[in-house]
Amino acid sequence: MKLLLLLTVVALAQGHVVRVPLEKTKSLRERLREQGLLESFLEQHPYNLAAKYFPGIAVEPLQNYMDDEYFGTISIGTPPQKFTVVFDTGSSNLWVPSVFCSSPGCRNHKRFNPEDSSTFLSTNDTLFIAYGTGSMTGVLGYDTVNVAGISISDQIFGLAETEPGDFFYYAPFDGILGLAFPSIASSGATPVFDNMMMENLVDRDIFSVYLSRDGQPGSFVLFGAIDPYYTTKGITWIPLSAETYWQITMDSVSVHGKQVACSSGCQAIVDTGTTLLTMPVRALRILLVSLGASFNGEISCQAVSKLPDVIFHINGKAFPVPPRAYVLRSEGSCSVGFEGMDAPTEEGELWILGDVFIREYYVIFNRADNKVGLSPLP
């Protein structure tokens, strides 16, 4: 039973054809999924069997927190100190709270103590990162970081000393692990996945993400491979327009067959660390009108069944986001999961394809060829 699951993953990663008598047996994943045991299995086997027998292929289970945040568990130091982190394709630094931090956002989370780690190396370098919803300052250090059973020696990371405001105070996670490019890493810190690649710790320079819907279990980041279960409808590969964020070019956005935004092309970031789907303010206003929503995004719950798909045209293909994905329900009211933000780039206006979009697709982040793959979910 173990071998069948491993052969499926390794066959994809290495391009080999492995004949398995599917008519007689199902994969471990399928059996666990049918019995409702997949999530508990992943929690009990955080380093997974594939990583044990085939180093370079590893799955990191993610907890779905109310469709708002997705986070997993890593460890830092010797002996390991565990932290929950958001695996964020919209940033590039790894950081966690430290014992040097007295901000409220640190005090109610786990804090890294360098004195408790025999492998920690300090630096005099400082760190500042500003996100759309919060910021942090701290110092940089080096230590052993373990992600999904992949151990990275001398990984540089941030030890937060301040976390202003209340965003991180209420956050259900401790820190952030950035998966974007080193070009946007604060203080020139080498991102975790870059070290995985440089140290040949992943079978392929690739990772892929599945985010579940409706608070359901099963979300994950897969390092070094692609899970064929989620690509049965094929993969559309989209070249990057910039090697900073995971940035791509969109052709247009349409509703009811008519272009409503991005008519001359625009830029988009595929960002697992952003909850909603973010767009320029003017585009948001037009889209709200076309959907019959109010200026603040509220919409009649009774009208949801009649709402159209919002179609994102990318690299010559259409990627629909249906109303079940973009309408958010809360305490009997409904609103659309869109928000406005003006962030122009040299290549055009910027959109952020956050979790509202990503939940509809299995997303493959390919560093070997600098492209993003999208596969419609079953």
Catalytic residues: 88, 271
Residue 106 is encoded by which pair of tokens? 């640190």
From the CB of residue 10, how many other CB atoms can be counted at a distance below 10 Å?
19
- 3-state SS assignment for residue 374: strand
DSSP 308-358: PPEEEEETTEEEEE-HHHHEEEETTEEEESEEE----BTTB-EEEE-HHHH
Q: Is the link from the previous residue into 217 a cis peptide, with omega within 30 of 0?
A: no
* Cα dist from 251 to 260, 319, 361, whole Å: 12, 11, 18
Q: Any residues with CB less than 8 A from the CB of 228 and at least 6 apart, and which?
A: 8, 12
The pairing of strands 81-88 and 175-178 is parallel
Distance CA 189, CA 114 (A): 18
Q: What is the rounded CA–CA span in Å between residue 227 and residue 203?
A: 14
State which H helix or E strand residue 16 sits in: none
Q: SS3 for 130?
A: strand
Alpha carbon distance 107, 96 (integer Å):
12
CA distances from 196 to 151, 203, 229, 235 (A): 9, 10, 25, 24
